[in-house]
Structure 1
Amino acid sequence: MSQLETLINTSDENLLTLLSSLCQGAIAIDQECRIVWLSQQYRELMELPDNTEFIGQLVNDILPTTQLPRILKTGQPSFLDLMQINNQWCAVTRLPLKNPDGSVFGAIGFVFYDNLENLQPLFDKFARLKKQLVSENLLRISKYELDDLVGNSPALLKIKRQALRAAQLDTTILLLGETGTGKELLAQGIHNASPRRDAPFVGINMAALPESLVEAELFGTAAGAYTGANKNGRLGKIQLATGGTLFLDEIADISAAIQAKLLRVIQEREIEALGSNRLEKVDVRIIAATSRNLKQLVDKGLFRADLYYRLNVLPLQLPALRDRIPDIPAISSYLMEKIARESGLPALSLSKDALIWLQQYHWPGNVRELHNRLERACVMAEQELISTEDLGAEDLISTNETIAFTDLNQAKNHAEAESLQQALTQSQHNKTKAAKLLGISRATLYNRIKRLNM
């Protein structure tokens, strides 16, 4: 007999009656995921037959989509979730059952559906906050899993294996890779594969924050911290990520002062809001990302060495698209379906020549550039099959042009310079527009122009 069964059998029947009366259905499982108790209301709600005994059966055999085993495995509660049961929206709460030493011996789920209107103020408040943060490009919604990294190339499979292992460790991760390789997607995938998956994922583009706002946005503000500040104070993004994951994109762009404060967050797990003299404990897992060489910045004195080593505990290097050419057909198919779904445009396919060109192009902007070119093609194509012309191949280099190179780097630099020059010409030398055409950041564009002596 399991510990939970013993507890139920020795408990006052009034306890189970009370639990049943508080909701429209309840079910409990033991540490082996076997059902040890379910209320009559739960049977009726799930339309389970009265003449069948479910006690002792594996809960997944009866309810294949149940989330209780996940609660049992992680030991983390799910205080509020919405699910549809027999065409009726229900609010669901799932809780782990723990011993005094913290070990989990079971899980219990409660279903509510009579009073969802009482939750409307909470939904409205969350929607307003989410809309505000998303509009400011500060909060990024965690919607991707590791399976959303499309492809089966050795380079991709390796990074997915590394990411899955890293997700189970509650330590700092540093994502490295060129612009457009999918660092944010990987960060969300790691979060959703980790024990913190039910807590918030808060993403911040550090390069998009004005220097004067970085400290307030990260660490929050105390009441009356400065003229015009919220009189009640304001939570920072680190507090919003409590219990979950904080994703710091473009980490190389933060100032020395913020580097020092961030170091304390990682070392001491505490923050001090702007205008406050009180330290506050925080529980966040930090994933940082950069397309720049942090070690070189450390050597030049532009980035703190101690922060670099704190961030570099688990470095993951994302492969460039040119290093995973076999994945291009699958990625292209996935992206074109996504573009068609989101834009309402008809679903198109790639011609043989277009697919060959995609696999031969050097992709300075990686997957982001691929997405941009496919989106352009879906708009410009006049046939069912996308041509190389629709992809903009003719703008970059003539297919009839043959150039002999004795040095591979020379060939690569020549092709990259032509891509940059064409984008600059099309944008009338507006570098922001040129960077967007290439699917890279403005800073990356400047760096490449400088490197190629253009």
Structure 2
Amino acid sequence: MLQDSLEIMLDNIDVGMIVVNNLGEIYTFNEKSKVMFNLDGEKSIYIKEVIPDLDLEEIVSDGSRKWKEFKIDIFTVKKQNIKSGYILLIYDTEEIEGLRNELHREKSTVKVLNFILEMAYDGIVVIDKDGIITMINKAYTEFLEIEQQWAIGRHVADVIENTRMHIVAKTLIPETAQLQRIKGKYMIANRMPVIENGELVAVIGKVLFKNIKELDLLYNKIRNIEDEYKKYKGEFEHSNSATYSFDNLIGKSKPFIQAKNLAKKSAHTNSNVLLRGESGTGKELFAHAIHRASERAYGNFVKVNCAAIPRDLLEAELFGYEGGSFTGARKEGKMGKFELAHEGTIFLDEIGDMPLHMQAKLLRVLQEKEVERVGANRSKKIDVRIIAATNRALEGMIKEGTFREDLYYRLNVITINIPPLRERPEDIEMLANYLTEKVSSKLNKKIKGLSKDASCSLMNYKWEGGVRELENVIERAINLVDYNGLIECKHLPKDIVKNKYEFENTSLNDIINVAEKDAILKALIACNWNKSLVAKMLNISRTSLYEKIEKHNI
């Protein structure tokens, strides 16, 4: 790490320098050492690999060592009286004897490091584990327009604006090539923790503050690219992701639960699914939920409304096209929906409205597992799971010749019939409460809920438009009701309220007696008054039947 932090070394003198830690691992070295020993800065190297006869464990004091034609001056690096490594100064006795003698007298590691720091053109600062500045070079203090002695001993956050040196001292996570704003300009900062035996020794920071004008231009370009990328990524993920899960499929009626359970099972397969049901039954919600519960959940969920895309553009939308393949085509071409859905799911809504010629092309995709862009001369393999939906009677269309029978059987592997809302009245109240909460949250308007009369009106209405119609009615009511109020009949459309069931004030026992008398009378008529057959049909004894006939005066 020290190698990354002290990039400006003694490259201007003819003396080799190598810095190692207590374990003998080389942290950094200067150009002269690189030439001497053919060192490689891209991989971890130990000093014993370079100087085999040098045993750091035997070094008990600073001094000189002789190795081949070189002399090695060794200085122990200490921080707060804790040894953290060594600096090796290596020189050829014949070439630089004078320089060796001068550097040999410099026994203090601090002085050597300070000399290195002062040579750096860029800003270099060193702090301890508490964030206190222990070293800062002249170039940095001149840029900050402060005195070195004033800065040393102060907390780094009090000296350098927007610094993160003290944060790195806590997290021990290196930060490289980070933008830092100082004196109104952006700099490139590196912050490296120096760790010995699991303990933080120091944090060394370097700030590049030359060519600021060019750096600002580069930063602005990068920022614009990032903004465009985030915008594109957000739009792409929004338009190609599944929003709803099985938790959003609300209902307790038997046919709905059966459809939901079948959908859950289908999520664990890769087979094609055909969703059938009237408009407004929630076919798209089922498709979302199946994708999100499948192994393809991390892939794209691509939606295509086959009825909404013009027929002459449908092929290009589904399969893409090469650049310049037709008038108005993009020069770079365009990826089709099937390619976007690779390793994900494609939802083909209103499949019954797909033209016959496109049905043939779709069938080929299903059979060959590959697509060919418009204007291309080669195919591309794809891995896509298809969920199709329709509100039309495909069997009748097959007889009429408007839907291909072979395509029908390819799509109709797992069929899920979603019942309309009018066939599951027991779900209406639950759905209405769910939608009230959902819509009020969307509109940021607090609502207490639905009154009993309002719920009764909703439950007795024939919802030809399905769940979508119910949601629209709920949203209209929420817009009309007062804040924190209760949705009442007056907030509902008149055609819904007038269908409210009028319940007579009759006891439950009377209702049961009427129903029982009616059932016995109908059974007697059906059996030509043969009481033995009636008792058997109603699953009661003949004695009970005679008692009930007498009771009801039949």
Instruction: Give CA deviations for 1:61-102 in whole Å, capped at 9, x if unaligned.
Output: xxxxxxxxxxxxxxxxxxxxxxxxx9xxxxxxxxxxxxxxxx
Q: Equivalent residue of 2:380, what SS?
A: strand
Q: Of 408, 415, 428, which aligns to 1:328? A: 428
Q: How does 1:50-449 map to 2 (within 5 A)?
A: 124-125=228-229, 127-128=231-232, 131=235, 139=239, 141-382=241-482, 384-392=485-493, 394-395=494-495, 398=498
Give the residue type in structure 1 aligned to 2:444: G
Instruction: Give CA deviations for 1:108-147 in whole Å, capped at 9, x if unaligned.
Output: xxxxxxxxxx99957843632663797xxxx453111112
Identity percentage over the alignment? 43
Aligned CA distance change for structure 1 residues 274 and 399 (closer, same or farther; 3 Å)? closer
Q: Equivalent residue of 1:363, what SS?
A: coil
- Indicate if the aligned counterparts of 1:224 and 1:230 stay in contact, CA closer than 8 A: yes
Aligned CA distance change for structure 1 residues 325 and 215 (closer, same or farther; 3 Å)? same
The TM-score normalised by the length of structure 1 is: 0.58
Hey, what's the Cα distance between the residues in 1 that align with 2:349 and 2:431? 23
Hey, what's the Cα distance between the residues in 1 that align with 2:453 and 2:254? 25
For 1:32, the equivalent position in structure 2 comes to none
- What is the alpha-carbon root mean square deviation over aligned residues? 2.8
Aligned CA distance change for structure 1 residues 206 and 230 (closer, same or farther; 3 Å)? same
Aligned CA distance change for structure 1 residues 306 and 120 (closer, same or farther; 3 Å)? farther
For 1:103, the equivalent position in structure 2 comes to none
Hey, what's the Cα distance between the residues in 1 that align with 2:377 and 2:223? 36
- Indicate if the aligned counterparts of 1:348 and 1:378 stay in contact, CA closer than 8 A: no
Per residue, is there more strand in 1 or in 2? Answer: 2
Q: Equivalent residue of 2:438, what SS?
A: helix
Q: Equivalent residue of 1:175, what SS?
A: strand
Give the residue type in structure 1 aligned to 2:258: K
Unaligned runs of 5+ in 1: 1-20, 22-85, 87-117, 403-454
Aligned CA distance change for structure 1 residues 123 and 304 (closer, same or farther; 3 Å)? farther
Instruction: Give CA deviations for 1:219-264 in whole Å, capped at 9, x if unaligned.
Output: 0001211122111211001100000000000111111111111001
Give the residue type in structure 2 aligned to 1:245: T
- Indicate if the aligned counterparts of 1:336 and 1:348 stay in contact, CA closer than 8 A: no
Q: Equivalent residue of 2:335, what SS?
A: coil
Instruction: Give CA deviations for 1:342-389 in whole Å, capped at 9, x if unaligned.
Output: 112222411111111111111001100000000011112248221223
The Cα of 1:330 is off from its aligned counterpart by 1.8
Q: Quick check: which has more Rg, 1 or 2?
A: 2
Hey, what's the Cα distance between the residues in 2 that align with 1:194 and 1:216? 28
Hey, what's the Cα distance between the residues in 2 that align with 1:400 and 1:298? 42
Q: Equivalent residue of 1:385, what SS?
A: strand
Aligned CA distance change for structure 1 residues 328 and 396 (closer, same or farther; 3 Å)? closer
Unaligned runs of 5+ in 2: 1-42, 44-170, 172-221, 503-554
- Indicate if the aligned counterparts of 2:264 and 2:290 stay in contact, CA closer than 8 A: yes
Aligned CA distance change for structure 1 residues 123 and 177 (closer, same or farther; 3 Å)? farther
- Indicate if the aligned counterparts of 2:243 and 2:288 stay in contact, CA closer than 8 A: yes
Aligned CA distance change for structure 1 residues 145 and 354 (closer, same or farther; 3 Å)? same
